Amino acid sequence: MGRPIIQYPQDMIAMQELIWSIKPDLVIETGIAHGGSLIFSASMLAQLDMCDAIQTGISFNPKESRRKVLGIDIDIRAHNRAAIEAHPMASRIQMIQGSSIAPEIIDQVKKLAAGHSRILVCLDSNHTHEHVLAELEAYAPLCSVGSYCVVFDTIIEDLPDNMYPDRPWGPGNNPKTAVHEYLKSHPEFEIDQSIHNKLLITVAPDGYLKRKMK
């Protein structure tokens, strides 16, 4: 839909299937980059609204939809922000600039989430163990029962040591290690291996976390 998206195709299909089955009224994404993922999620929410309108026969104004996408990034580049805000899906998207683990940003997100009942969370920003674990502690609890917290780039744990020489993450310090640490004390979530088994190739092995209870 006109913006670059830094996701693997199989994972994009997995997200489409999750959004269709969960039917969230809020998708929270950490990490914005060029905005392709925000627009992708917004387009899926637009399809949900369209299907609702067809099934009920009640017309609606897309700009007044309760279904929204919230993106958080420590640095939203001006040209990316301008392109996202000029996109036809812009009315469904809200962006917050700041560290996703800063207390004031977390508070802001929680206040925005309070008005929604079905929430899906996607974590894809800084990939260090410490950062992802802090994101999980902050945002995974916002997931509604039956929904998911998707942690991207857990595959870093399974890649060679020298894969990211200019980054602070690598084997032993990455989203997958954070996921396993988080799950030790949060039995309300479980890894949905059926998604990985169906995709076969994914950047998020062990990263599709389903909330099974409160």
Q: Which of 7, 1, 81 is nearest to 46 (CA)?
A: 1
- On average, the pLDDT of the chain sits at 96
Look up the CATH architecture of domain 9-167. 3-Layer(aba) Sandwich (3.40)
* Structure-block tokens of residue 181: 């640490």
Closest residue by Cα to residue 33 from 56, 64, 4, 69? 4
Predicted confidence at residue 61, as pLDDT, reads: 81
Percent pLDDT > 90 in the chain is 92
Q: Output the pLDDT for position 60.
A: 76
Q: Burial of 126 by CB count in 10 Å (0-12 exposed, 13-18 middle, 19+ buried)? A: buried
79 strand-pairing partners: none
Q: So where are the chain's domains? A: 9-167
Q: Once rounded to an integer, what is the mean pLDDT over residues 10-23?
A: 97
pLDDT at 57: 87
> What's the pTM value of the predicted model, to 2 decimals?
0.95
pLDDT digits (tens, 9 = 90+) for 93-132: 999 999 999 999 999 999 999 989 999 999 999 999 999 9
DSSP, collapsed to helix, strand or coil, labels residue 176 as helix
The closest of 124, 208, 103 to 169, measured between CA atoms, is 124
Residue 4: pLDDT over 80: yes
**Average of per-residue pLDDT across 77-97:** 97
Q: What is the pLDDT of residues 19-46, one digit of tens each?
A: 999 999 999 999 999 999 999 999 999 9
pLDDT of residue 172: 97
Give the pair of three-digit tokens for residue 58. 């009640």
∠ at Cα 35 (34, 38), nearest 5°?
160
Cα–Cα distance measured from residue 50 to residue 65, given in angstroms and rounded to the nearest whole number:
11
